[in-house]
Amino acid sequence: MLDLSGKRIVVTGGAGFLGRQVVDQLCRAGANPDKIFVPRSQTHNLCTLEACQTVVANQDIIIHLAAHVGGIGLNREKPAELFYDNLMMGTQLIHSAYQAGVEKFVCLGTICAYPKFTPVPFKEEDLWNGYPEETNAPYGIAKKALLVQLQAYRQQYGFNGIYLLPVNLYGPEDNFNPNSSHVIPALIRKVHEAQQRGDKTLPVWGDGSPTREFLYSTDAARAIVMATQAYDGDEPVNLGTNSEISIRNLVELICELMEFQGEIVWETDKPNGQPRRCLDTQRAKDYFGFSAEMTFREGLKHTIDWYRQQSL
C-alpha cells in the first residue's frame, strides 16, 4: 500500500466535478493537502509540452483527470477538438512525467473507448475488439492511445503508469451546461426548466432503448485513490457498479423523483448513441478491493437536491 503522507501529488482537472472529490479522498487517505497541486487551464494549457513539463517537475504522483469532454451533442459538433486536445494533453503529460522521474502516473480513460458492440457486461479484454460508437470514437480513441503509451513506457522504461476506465459519472457539482453536459445533468436541468415553464411535455433524444451504467462521483474518486495506493499493474481496470438502466427508465425515475407529471416525448430522429453499456467490475474488486457503495436512487436524489439549491 502506497503511503501518500509525504507524496507530492498533481491532480490535473482537480478543480472539476470529479477532481474536487479526488482531492478530498486523497486527503482522507492521508495525503498532505499542502502537497497537492491542481494546475488550472488558465495558467497551464496542458495541450502544450511546456505546461506539461512545468506541472510534473519535482512531483511524485500524477493523477490525470483533465479532459475535454461532453455529451453526444459536443461529440458530434467538435470531434477534431476532442481528439486533438485529449491526445495532446495525455501523451505529453505521460512523456514529461517519465522524463521527470515521476514515481507513479494514474490515467483516467473513458467508457467511450469500448467497441460499439461489446458483449455485456464489458470486460477489459474486449477493449480492442472493434471500433467505438461513431459519435464517441475521436474522444474514445484519443484516450485509448494513452493506455498503449503507458504499457509501452512500462515495457521499455519501467515507468509505473496505471489506466482506469470509469463508466459515466454523476453527482452534485456535475456539469449542467446544456451544450456540453452528459445525460443525467442534462435531464435534471431539462425537467427542472420544464417545471418552471409549466410544460406538459418533455422532449428527450432517441427512443429510450439504450442502457447506461452510472457511477456516483464520490465512489469514483474513492476508487481512483484506492488504485493509486494499491494497484501497479499494466492492465486497464473498469470502474463502475455492474448494473445498467435503460434511458427510458432513467427518464421516468428522474421525473418521479422531481415530481414532473408531464408526458415524455421521444425524439426518434435524434441519435441513441451506443446501444448498451454495463461494465464487468470484478477486476477492480480483485486488484484493489473497490466496490461502489452509493445506490442509484439515493445518488440521483443528492444530485437533484444540489441542482435545485443552485437554481434558487
- C-alpha to C-alpha distance for 237 and 282, rounded to whole angstroms: 9
What is the pLDDT of the chain when averaged over all its residues? 95
Dihedral Cα 41, 46, 50, 56, nearest 10 deg = 100
Q: Is the model's pLDDT at 79 over the cut of 90?
A: yes
Asked whether the predicted pLDDT for residue 24 surpasses 90, the reply is yes
**Going edge to edge, which strands form the sheet with 104-108?**
36-37, 9-12, 61-64, 104-108, 161-166, 237-239
> Does the annotation count 139 as an active-site position?
yes
Q: What DSSP string runs through 22-56?
A: HHHHHHHTT--GGGEE---TTT--TTSHHHHHHHH
Of the chain, the percentage scoring pLDDT greater than 70 comes to 100
Q: For position 273, what pLDDT does the model report?
A: 79
Which range has the top average pLDDT, 56-65, 172-181, 264-273?
56-65
| Nearest alpha-carbon partner for 226 in 212, 237, 242 | 237
The gap from C-alpha 78 to its chain's centroid, in whole angstroms, comes to 18
> Is 40 assigned a ligand-binding role in the annotation?
no
User: For the chain, percent helix, then strand, then coil, each to nearest 5?
Assistant: 45, 15, 40
Query: Is 288 annotated as a binding-site member?
Result: no
- Band of pLDDT at residue 188, cut at 50, 70 and 90: very high
Q: Which three cell numbers stand for residue 48?
A: 502544450
What DSSP line would sit under 57-77, residue for residue?
TT-SEEEE-------HHHHHH
Q: Read off the pLDDT of each residue in 35-51 and give the average, rounded to a whole number.
A: 97
CA atoms within 13 A on the CB side of 26: 28
The answer on whether 19 is annotated among ligand-binding residues is: yes
pLDDT at 119 over 80: yes
Q: Single out the residue of 84, 136, 104 nearest to residue 224, CA to CA.
A: 104
For residue 48, the model assigns a pLDDT of 97
Residue 256 confidence (pLDDT): 97
Annotated binding residue at 299? no
Tens of pLDDT, residue by residue over 253-305, are 999 999 999 999 999 999 887 788 899 999 999 999 999 999 999 999 999 99
The single residue of 98, 114, 139, 170 carrying the catalytic annotation is 139
122 DSSP β-pair partners: 279
Predicted pLDDT of residue 259: 97
Q: How many residues does the chain have?
A: 312
Question: Is it the case that residue 180 has pLDDT exceeding 80?
Answer: no
Q: Averaged over 29-37, what is the pLDDT?
A: 98
312 pLDDT tier (thresholds 50, 70, 90): confident
